[in-house]
């Protein structure tokens, strides 16, 4: 999948002004990408290196994520639907933990699949007469789509209609 959830987290934290995308990919015999390694360069010079793989130790159905920078790192217990986000300094010391309560219809629930937030934002935008969600504006969706298309082409993944 070349990391749409990762790109969502990256654009949430670093913005949309991506000027260069470079990647390398490994595929299973079926053609599914098993390891994606790509770099995003921003107009301000910021460089974000992303890696996603299906062969890391993990609990069933949970894909953790880490954003690493010069001052420390941010650890997500699940890149697609984080419950806990840990902030560490560059020595690895825990500085803060953000707890994200799973929500459905405005109340906490024991389990979510990850799209409940999107549905909630969509319903809110409709009620407010908006044409897009504040939480995921069209510009972010289009930026992620353009990056994904470029990564697919670099990985030689071409859809039949292209």
Q: What integer pLDDT is reported at residue 62 of this predicted model?
A: 60
Q: What is the pTM of this model?
A: 0.73
Per residue in 49-94, pLDDT tens?
888 777 665 555 566 778 777 788 888 887 767 778 899 999 999 9
- Show the low-confidence residues of the chain (pLDDT under 50): none
Q: Is 106 helix (H, G, I), strand (E, B) or coil?
A: coil
Q: What integer pLDDT is reported at residue 49 of this predicted model?
A: 85
Q: What integer pLDDT is reported at residue 4 of this predicted model?
A: 79
DSSP annotation string for 31-63: S-EEEEEEEEEETTS-EEEEEEES-S---TT--
């Amino acid at each position: 999948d070349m990391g749409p959830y990762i790109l969502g987290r990256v654009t949430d934290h670093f913005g949309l002004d991506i000027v260069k995308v470079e990647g390398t990919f490994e595929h299973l015999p079926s053609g599914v990408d098993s390891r994606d390694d790509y770099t995003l360069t921003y107009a301000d010079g910021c460089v974000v290196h992303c890696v996603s793989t299906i062969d890391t130790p993990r609990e069933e159905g949970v894909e953790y994520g880490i954003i690493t920078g010069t001052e420390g790192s941010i650890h997500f217990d699940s890149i697609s639907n984080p419950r806990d986000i840990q902030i560490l300094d560059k020595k690895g010391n825990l500085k803060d933990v953000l707890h994200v309560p799973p929500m459905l219809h405005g109340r906490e629930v024991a389990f979510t699949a990850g799209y409940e937030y999107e549905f909630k934002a969509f319903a809110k935008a409709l009620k407010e007469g908006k044409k897009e969600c504040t939480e995921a504006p069209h510009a972010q969706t289009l930026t992620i789509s353009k990056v994904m298309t470029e990564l697919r082409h670099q990985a030689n993944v071409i859809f039949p209609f292209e």
